[in-house]
Amino acid sequence: MKRISVTTTPFEGQKPGTSGLRKQVQVFQQPHYLENFVQSLFDSLEGFAGQTLVVGGDGRYHNRSAVQTILRMAAANGFGRVLVGRGGILSTPAASLVIRKYGAFGGIVLSASHNPGGPEGDFGIKYNIGNGGPAPERVTEAIYARSQAIDRYFTLAGADLPLDQLASHQLGETEVVVIDPVADYAELMESLFDFPAIRALLTSGAFRMRFDAMHAVTGPYAKEILEGRLQAPAGTVMNAIPLEDFGGGHPDPNLTYAEALVAEMFGPDAPDFGAASDGDGDRNMVLGRHFFVTPSDSLAVMAANADLVPGYRGRLKGIARSMPTSGAADKVAEVLGLPSFETPTGWKFFGNLLDAGMATLCGEESFGTSSDHVREKDGLWAVLYWLNVLAARGESVATILEGHWRRFGRHYYTRHDYEALPAEPAKGVMEQVSGTFASLPGTTLAGRRVTLADDFAYTDPVDGSTSTHQGLRVLFEDGSRIVYRLSGTGTVGATLRIYIERYEADPTLQGLDPQEALADLIAAARALCQLEQRTGQVEPTVIT
Ligand code: G1P
Ligand code: ZN
């Protein structure tokens, strides 16, 4: 098969955001658009000739054709071997695992995560490096720079490869191996968690759970692990069949979008445990009967209970959280005598800490938790971790949380999203906030003294690299915080995120609804950024 060089010209805006390049499907369907980005990626890498590349995605609309394009280009660019998930499928954590397990040079993950799919929805592409984690900024910046100057890409002529059967194919000089997307992952999960104890819990008849795969990639993984290896009753996994448009839903596991699951968990005769994962399987939401566990609390509970989980017993080195994530995990780290780390938003910032053995558990408030078993966040892993803790403690989710708060204090927490704002007012909101920073410290807001107001910057303790403009923080004397950020993953207009947090040590005051407990800080946060004057909005579109 002959290598073809195709002449092309740059596209504007091929700049990876918080998590890869995400655009509407129509943008990706433009001739040469995907090819330009993939060639820019390959042109930015060195030393991959003859090496292995992993390719897979969350199965959303455009996944199949994009995989074929990438296989041809990988072969034309000189990769020795490509491992591709059957049907072009690999969840994000499974891709991370496969890269690590088979010593791949890197991997390409096709997903727009929790964004809706289908011809009118979103598509995305992300590069992961040899440690299995998202490419660091120096790589994504190089890709973007190259995309601005690209004038040719390499591909091969030829028919599409059949990807629905496990097999090995020859594509030019390159071997393409179609792998089982679930097997390696399921095996790893079994090595980390107490499967016999979880199986006993799930088959006892006294405990019921529901897992909502949201018609996204975790369906086959959850079926195999929960209903297969762990023998949970058939039907435990709902919306288990992955669909190209996620059944028209928004595959984001939160209280707004996982509607059916939430209705069941807060309804009469609710199951004991409910969980959901997102489009590409890296997010998780955890619910008890009539009980929502914030992702920040989830990370803290996992850390506090690590000794109940075989894969983590006695081996926590440190706990890392993204800056907007609540301080709940820090409290646990403090009590356990472990180091804690505060990184910018986005999983890529955890990679160095995990590689260096400085952190074992990591989490973000955005329904992401994981550990050093891969270099991505991992939805089903978090669900299995929780099941392990529930099986070991024999208590309800609510009882575990209440006990946790009594011991460590409660961090009341909420995130308010204002989606699809026009870009200018959204920028204005951020400028308004940073404009107050010089005079804010020492003044009083919502009855609390401001101790620090800054634009968060992070210096990586491993490689010394610095990332600036990572969110505006207002910190108060009593430990409360308000954080403002603009989303780096949206594809329509701008999304403003306001994160609000307050610490409550007194157990008699820990039972409030977070929106009530934070009401004064929420009002202060809106006033400080002149939300209504600048955007015409008051109430957020999504509250988590
Ligand atoms: C969002 C989340 C962030 C997460 C990312 C990818 O990014 O806030 O924590 O890492 O999605 O799942 P954002 O849209 O806020 O830039
Ligand atoms: Zn995701």
Pocket test for ligand 1, best of 321, 366, 369 (most atoms within 8 A of CB): 366
In this structure, the number of other CB atoms found within 10 A of the CB of residue 459 comes to: 10
- How do residues 468-488 score in pLDDT, each as one tens digit? 999 999 999 999 999 999 998
Beta-bridge mates of residue 171: 174
The token duo for 336 is 């356990």
Domain range 410-543, its CATH number among 3.30.310.50, 2.30.110.10, 3.40.140.10, 3.40.50.2020: 3.30.310.50
Mean of per-residue pLDDT scores for the chain: 96
Q: What is the reported pLDDT for 2?
A: 84
Report DSSP letters for 340-380, one per residue: EEEE-SSGGGGHHHHHTTS-SEEEETTTEEEETTSSS--HH
| Cα–ligand 1 centroid distance for 355 (angstroms) | 21
Q: How far apart are CA 102 and CA 274, in angstroms?
A: 33
Collapse the DSSP code of 153 into the 3-class scheme (helix H, G, I; strand E, B; otherwise coil) and give the result: strand
Global pTM reads 0.94
pLDDT tier for residue 303 given thresholds of 50, 70 and 90: very high
Atom of ligand 1 nearest to the CA of 324: 9
Q: How far apart are CA 399 and CA 290, in angstroms?
A: 12
pLDDT tier for residue 489 given thresholds of 50, 70 and 90: confident
DSSP secondary-structure letter at 225? I
Tell me the catalytic residues. 113
Atom 6, ligand 1: which residue's CA is nearest?
A: 19
Q: Which helix (H) or strand (E) holds 453?
A: strand 448-455
pLDDT tier for residue 350 given thresholds of 50, 70 and 90: very high
Atom of ligand 1 nearest to the CA of 278: 12
Residues with CB under 6 A from ligand 1: 18-19, 113, 322, 345-347, 364, 366, 368, 487-489, 497
The token duo for 221 is 């993984």
Q: Which residue has the tokens 């707004």?
A: 256
Question: Strands 106-110 and 52-57: what pairing?
Answer: parallel
Report whether pLDDT(137) > 90: no
Identify how many contiguous H helices and E strands the chain contains and give both numbers. Answer: 18, 27
Q: What is the reported pLDDT for 34?
A: 98
- How do residues 199-225 score in pLDDT, each as one tens digit? 999 999 999 999 999 999 999 999 999
Atom of ligand 1 nearest to the CA of 17: 16
Averaged pLDDT for residues 66-70: 98
Averaged pLDDT for residues 227-253: 95
Atom 8, ligand 1: which residue's CA is nearest?
A: 366
Superfamily the domain 185-408 falls into: Alpha-D-Glucose-1,6-Bisphosphate, subunit A, domain 3 (3.40.120.10)
| Cα–ligand 1 centroid distance for 208 (angstroms) | 31
- Higher confidence at residue 24 or residue 136? 24
Q: What are the structural domain ranges in the chain?
A: 3-181, 185-408, 410-543
In this structure, the number of other CB atoms found within 10 A of the CB of residue 254 comes to: 22
Q: How far apart are CA 362 and CA 375, in angstroms?
A: 10
Identical fold for domains 3-181 and 410-543, yes or no, is no
Nearest C-alpha neighbor of 104 from the set 179, 189, 216: 179
| Cα–ligand 1 centroid distance for 42 (angstroms) | 25
Q: How far apart are CA 387 and CA 302, in angstroms?
A: 11
| Cα–ligand 1 centroid distance for 487 (angstroms) | 7
Collapse the DSSP code of 401 into the 3-class scheme (helix H, G, I; strand E, B; otherwise coil) and give the result: helix
Report DSSP letters for 36-50, one per residue: HHHHHHHHH--S-TT
Q: What is the reported pLDDT for 324?
A: 98
Collapse the DSSP code of 139 into the 3-class scheme (helix H, G, I; strand E, B; otherwise coil) and give the result: helix
Q: How far apart are CA 304 and CA 157, in angstroms?
A: 55
Pocket test for ligand 1, best of 417, 489, 544 (most atoms within 8 A of CB): 489
Q: Which helix (H) or strand (E) holds 298?
A: helix 295-304
Domain range 3-181, its CATH number among 3.40.50.2300, 3.40.120.10, 1.20.1630.10, 3.40.640.10: 3.40.120.10
